[in-house]
């Protein structure tokens, strides 16, 4: 298959969330058929609710600067599926992606033909296998794996990572993971095994109890011993300047590369992961490389500016709160809010948090089968919001055009609600990216 053919095949397997099948059997058989290439390099798996991608971005930035041959696997992508797989900070080429996609397709079909599988592996399972195959061929030393959803049955968990990290746990995907923080935490804590190092972000008490109980069961202790001193937050770019203090080192005045106070905890988690790599797995990382990695990290679609447009994939309540806090602190001009989201999300609390920040609200529908109709989005607009300032746009392109018409250059256009919306908007504006 060429690249376009590989995309057609993969997307033909169904939506990566709605067609998802929980369980590790398929990915396990794929890995076995590949010769278990995941055993050829060290793995860090990052689970949690929000901050997984940012933590991975911070850690990847550190490791690449340190000269470690690193593979990074994240999801979802914004514009191109190749964004999900990076080797040494470089996206996999379309040619290489197609090469590995063809290999995984052929193996999947063979396993189905001989009866080892009851159905073809899903989109996410096959893309995960594509990443592992690409990492092995590139002879990486370290893979950084962002968990897709949950943990217990996520395809990345089949890699049996030697190091795992859990970012702050909050409510999201309750229809799959459970309706309480304890239930959600149990799904994510399932990635912890007796032979893992566990680096833990600060957690709410209900989630923390579940994680610590899991650690006790397997006989390990969590790593969460880095103190933070917030020195300042840049009033112009919203980036925090922080001093991190660990057991053996002080990292003073680190000017974080990602915007928002919420990134402090993600950076702390990445720093502690870097120290685990250095102290427990003999990777060479200097203090200056760790600092520079935190200061130069990039993560597209998260508080990312282009001219007077701000992109942020705030797709759950915790993300919406973080975005609102950023707007409250750093944005002083009128906001035109372009919002679109998936219908399997609990959107009323998100609307209650974000919509009052807007002067004009434009509701739209990303080109995704899970997207909520604009007529349904209209129902979650708070009653206090001036209805004459609410506009419906049936396509993202129409929403962007409308936003530009009603927004002055000195005012802000905020595009948020779903990373799928952010990705589609950036693709429409891709000449700028």
**What does the H/E/C string look like for the chain?**
CCHHHHHHHHHCCCCCCCCCCCCCHHHHHHHHHCCCHHHHCEEEEEECCCCHHHHHHHHHHHHHHCCCCEEEECCCCCCCHHHHEEECCEECCHHHHHHHHHHHHHHHHHHHHCCCCCCCCCHHHHHHHHHHHHHHHCCCCEEEEECCCCCCCCHHHHHCCCEEEECCCCCCCHHHHCCCHHHHHHHHHCCCCCCCEEEECCCCHHHHHHHHHHHHHHCCCEECCCEEEEEEECCCCCCEEEEEECCCCEEEEEECCCCCCCHHHHHHHHHHHHHHHHHHCCCCCCHHHHHHHHHHCCCCCCCEEECCEEEECCCCHHHHHHHHHHHHHHCCCCEEEEECCECCCCHHHHHHHHHHHCCEEEEECCCCCCECCHHHHHHHCCCCCCHHHEEEECCHHHHHHHHHHHCCCCCEEEEECCHHHHHHHHHHCHHHC
In this prediction, residue 392 carries a pLDDT of 98
Q: Count of CB atoms within 10 A of residue 327's CB? A: 21
Mean pLDDT of 251-269: 97
Question: pLDDT averaged over the chain?
Answer: 94
In this prediction, residue 150 carries a pLDDT of 82
341: closest CA among 255, 420, 401? 420
In this prediction, residue 22 carries a pLDDT of 66
Strands 142-146 and 70-73: parallel
- Rounded Cα distance, 264 and 397, in Å: 34
Strands 227-233 and 222-223: unpaired
Helix axes 123-137 and 3-11, enclosed angle (nearest 10): 140
Using pLDDT thresholds of 50, 70 and 90, give the confidence band for residue 430. confident
Q: Where are the domains of the chain?
A: 3-296, 304-432
In this prediction, residue 249 carries a pLDDT of 97
pLDDT tens per residue, range 62-104:
999 999 999 999 999 999 999 999 999 999 999 999 999 999 9
pLDDT tens per residue, range 222-240:
999 999 999 999 988 999 9
More confident residue, 177 or 323: 323
Does residue 177 carry a pLDDT above 90? no
Using pLDDT thresholds of 50, 70 and 90, give the confidence band for residue 433. very low
- Rounded Cα distance, 300 and 78, in Å: 8
Task: Please tell me the pTM assigned to this model.
Answer: 0.95
CATH 3.40.1190.10 describes domain 3-296: yes
Q: How many CA atoms lie within 13 A of 57 on its CB side?
A: 21
Contact between 362 and 337 under an 8 Å Cβ cutoff? The reply is yes
CA 383 to chain centre: 32
In this prediction, residue 58 carries a pLDDT of 98
Using pLDDT thresholds of 50, 70 and 90, give the confidence band for residue 157. very high
In this prediction, residue 176 carries a pLDDT of 62
pLDDT tens per residue, range 106-135:
999 999 999 999 999 999 999 999 999 999
pLDDT tens per residue, range 270-316:
999 999 999 999 999 999 999 999 999 999 999 999 999 999 999 89
pLDDT tens per residue, range 31-57:
999 999 999 999 999 999 999 999 999
Q: From residue 371, give the alpha-carbon distance in Å to each of 18, 81, 255.
A: 11, 19, 37
Using pLDDT thresholds of 50, 70 and 90, give the confidence band for residue 173. low
Q: From residue 148, give the alpha-carbon distance in Å to each of 14, 125, 174, 264, 321.
A: 16, 10, 15, 22, 22
Provide the sign of the torsion angle of the four alpha carbons 294, 296, 297, 299, taken in this order: positive
Topology annotation, domain 304-432: 3.90.190
In this prediction, residue 300 carries a pLDDT of 94
Mean pLDDT of 385-398: 97
In this prediction, residue 405 carries a pLDDT of 96
In this prediction, residue 175 carries a pLDDT of 60
pLDDT tens per residue, range 16-31:
765 666 679 999 999 9
Using pLDDT thresholds of 50, 70 and 90, give the confidence band for residue 170. confident
Does residue 402 carry a pLDDT above 50? yes
- Residues of the chain with pLDDT > 70, as a percent, come to 97
Does residue 336 carry a pLDDT above 90? yes
């Amino acid at each position: 298959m060429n690249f376009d053919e590989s995309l057609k095949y993969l997307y033909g397997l169904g939506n990566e969330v709605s067609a998802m099948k929980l369980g590790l059997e398929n990915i396990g058989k794929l890995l076995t058929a590949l010769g278990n290439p995941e055993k050829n390099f060290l793995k860090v798996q990052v689970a949690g609710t929000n901050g997984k991608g940012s933590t991975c971005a911070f850690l990847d930035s550190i490791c690449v600067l340190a000269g470690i041959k690193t593979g990074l696997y994240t999801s979802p992508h914004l514009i191109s599926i190749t964004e999900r797989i990076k080797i040494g900070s470089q996206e996999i080429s379309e040619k290489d992606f197609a090469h590995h996609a063809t290999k995984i397709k052929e193996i999947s079909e063979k396993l189905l033909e001989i009866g080892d599988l009851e159905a073809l592996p899903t989109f996410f399972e096959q893309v995960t296998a594509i990443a592992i195959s690409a990492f092995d061929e590139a002879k990486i030393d370290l893979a950084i794996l962002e968990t897709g959803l949950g943990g217990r049955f996520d395809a990345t968990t089949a890699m049996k990572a030697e190091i795992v990290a859990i970012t702050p746990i909050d409510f999201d995907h309750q229809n799959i993971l459970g309706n309480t923080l304890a239930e959600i935490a149990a799904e994510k804590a399932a990635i912890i095994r007796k032979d893992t190092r566990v680096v833990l972000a600060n957690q709410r008490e209900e989630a923390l109890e579940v994680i610590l109980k899991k650690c006790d069961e397997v006989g390990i202790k969590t790593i969460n011993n880095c103190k933070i001193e917030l020195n300042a937050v840049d009033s112009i770019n919203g980036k925090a300047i922080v001093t991190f203090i660990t057991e053996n080192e002080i990292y003073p005045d680190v000017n974080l590369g990602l915007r928002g106070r919420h990134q402090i905890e993600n950076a702390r988690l990445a720093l502690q992961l870097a120290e685990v790599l250095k102290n427990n797995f003999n990777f060479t990382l200097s203090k200056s490389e760790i600092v520079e990695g935190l200061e130069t990290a990039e993560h597209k679609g998260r508080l990312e500016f282009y001219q007077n447009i701000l992109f942020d994939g705030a797709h759950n309540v915790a993300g919406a709160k973080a975005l609102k806090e950023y707007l409250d602190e750093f944005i002083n001009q009128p906001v035109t809010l372009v919002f679109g989201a998936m219908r399997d999300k609990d959107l009323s609390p998100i609307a209650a948090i974000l919509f009052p920040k807007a002067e004009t609200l434009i509701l739209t529908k990303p080109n995704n089968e899970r997207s909520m109709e604009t007529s349904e989005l209209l129902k979650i607009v708070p009653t206090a919001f001036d209805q004459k300032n609410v506009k419906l746009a049936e396509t993202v392109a129409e929403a962007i055009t409308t936003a530009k018409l009603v927004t002055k250059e000195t005012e802000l256009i905020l595009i948020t609600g779903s990373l799928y919306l952010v990705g589609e908007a950036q693709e429409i504006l891709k000449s700028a990216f």
